Every structure is written in structure tokens, then in C-alpha cells.
Amino acid sequence: MAVASSQQGKGIGQALINHALTYLKTHNVDFVVTYGDPNFYSKTGFQAVADTQLIPPFSLSYPHGWQAVALGDKPLSELTGEVRCVLPLNQACYW
């Protein structure tokens, strides 16, 4: 996720996230998970999730960045299990 540095701070990042969340909600996705700065993601409804509740593919350098948002009726407490990662990001150094 990135916005051109000359255009940051204008709400574009939040608009992109909200657009994606709306799309996923219409496709009946229950939860969306991210690993990023809570100062940004909390603005679009993401909340911290423990890495013991939702197990990441690798040990997290910044556990407070492990976050999720519920899009449907299920509470975040139902979000459990182990997360798998797409191949290009499936390296411990990125986590």
C-alpha cells in the first residue's frame, strides 16, 4: 500500500482502503487482515489482533501492527487459525 509522496495526507490512502473494504464486503468476505502501522489502519476500522489468536506465517517484528477488521456479522474473536502468505512475501525478513 503506497500513495505518491507528493499526494500523501490528502485522504487518498484511506479512500483506497475504504474502497477495497466496500468491494470485499459486497463479496461476503468476513474479515480483512493487515500488517502495518496502526496510526494509519485504525482510521479505517482495523483493530489489533493477538498473534496467538491469529497465527502469522513468521514471527512478527512489530506485533502491534497485526490488525484486522470484521466486515460482516461475525465478531473479530471468531478470527482464528494460521495465516499463509503469497510466495513473494513469504520470507521471514519481511515480517
Q: Which of 1, 55, 60, 89 binds ligand COA (CB under 6 A)?
A: 1
Give me the long-range contacts of 59-63 (CB less than 8 A, separation at least 24).
Answer: 59/92, 59/95, 60/35, 60/95, 61/95, 62/35
Residue nearest to ligand COA (CB): 13
Residue 91 within binding range of ligand COA, rule CB under 6 A = no
Say which DSSP state 4 is in.
Answer: -
CA 56 – CA 91 distance, rounded (Å)? 12
Residue (34 or 71) nearer to ligand COA, CB: 34
Residue 60 within binding range of ligand COA, rule CB under 6 A = no
Binding site for ligand COA (CB under 6 A): 1-3, 8-14, 36-37, 39-40, 43
